[in-house]
């Protein structure tokens, strides 16, 4: 029985988690991560998807994206999966699947939750004990947000841009926000929504998404 397509409507951010199958390693070197990031950037251009945030861990990836058209997210992830898995299997003389069968996703209400979701994503290396400061981890979007690092695939979200009138003030404000600890309840909510496909947002926002989904279904 075919799987139902992901509902990722245009202009609504989506938090994506892609894990190694059975939590296995999917990046063994910086070259692996660079290859994945390259194909992510290329697919984002191809399908008109904005990349707001990311972190590449050894056995999983977090992304915060905004598509500009229907089905763009699914097409982007399919492209990355095909290209990166082919590269990984060839490089390490292996065969078979690398990632879990389907990536996990959660629509994110921008106004109230997007910066919190970025906070959660970029603190992954800290929570994992890999670094003490998120700025010490190379493979996340934190250095773009917090220090203005020029990363070609990055598209700053309008909420980030609203933090200040210029780059220096935005970066300072963002670093201040990142120093605030996320409480356990917020972390659990973000994880639960991403792992179960629930919408991360207010009841009103969830109702709006449900209406959009119903309208989309009726047009098919």
Query: HEC states along 193-218?
Result: HHHHCCCECCHHHHHHHHHHHHHHHH
104 DSSP β-pair partners: 17
Write down the domain spans for the chain.
14-219
| pLDDT mean over 182-188 | 93
Q: What tokens appear for 104 in the block?
A: 């996990």
Say how many C-beta atoms besides its own lie within 10 A of residue 185's C-beta: 8
This prediction's pTM: 0.94
CA distance 169 to 194: 31
CA distances from 21 to 2, 6, 25 (A): 21, 20, 8
- From the list 151, 146, 148, 153, the residue with the least C-alpha distance to 123 is 146
14-219 architecture in CATH?
A: 2-Layer Sandwich (3.30)
- From the list 103, 102, 120, 18, the residue with the least C-alpha distance to 59 is 18
Q: What is the pLDDT of residues 101-153, one digit of tens each?
A: 789 999 999 988 999 999 999 999 999 999 999 999 999 999 999 999 999 99
Residue 19 has pLDDT above 70, yes or no: yes
- Sorting pLDDT into bands at 50, 70 and 90, what band is 1? very low
């Amino acid at each position: 029985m075919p799987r139902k397509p992901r509902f990722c409507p245009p202009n609504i951010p989506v938090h994506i988690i892609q894990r190694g199958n059975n939590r296995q390693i999917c990046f063994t070197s910086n070259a692996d991560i660079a290859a994945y990031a390259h194909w992510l950037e290329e697919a984002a251009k191809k399908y008109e998807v904005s990349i707001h945030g990311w972190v590449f861990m050894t056995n999983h990836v977090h992304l915060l994206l905004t598509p500009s058209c229907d089905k763009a997210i699914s097409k982007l992830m399919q492209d990355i999966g095909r290209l990166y898995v082919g590269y990984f299997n060839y490089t390490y003389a292996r065969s078979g699947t690398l990632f879990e069968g389907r990536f996990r996703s959660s629509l994110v209400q921008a106004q109230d939750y997007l910066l919190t979701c970025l906070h959660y994503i970029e603190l992954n290396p800290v929570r994992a004990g890999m670094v003490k400061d998120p700025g010490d981890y190379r493979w996340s979007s934190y250095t773009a947000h917090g220090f203005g690092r020029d990363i070609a695939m990055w598209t700053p979200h309008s909420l980030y841009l609203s933090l200040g009138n210029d780059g220096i003030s935005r970066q300072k404000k963002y670093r201040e926000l990142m120093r605030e600890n996320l409480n356990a309840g917020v972390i659990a909510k973000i994880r639960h929504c991403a792992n179960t496909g629930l919408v991360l947002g207010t009841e009103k926002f969830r109702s709006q998404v449900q209406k959009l989904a119903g309208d989309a279904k009726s047009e098919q």
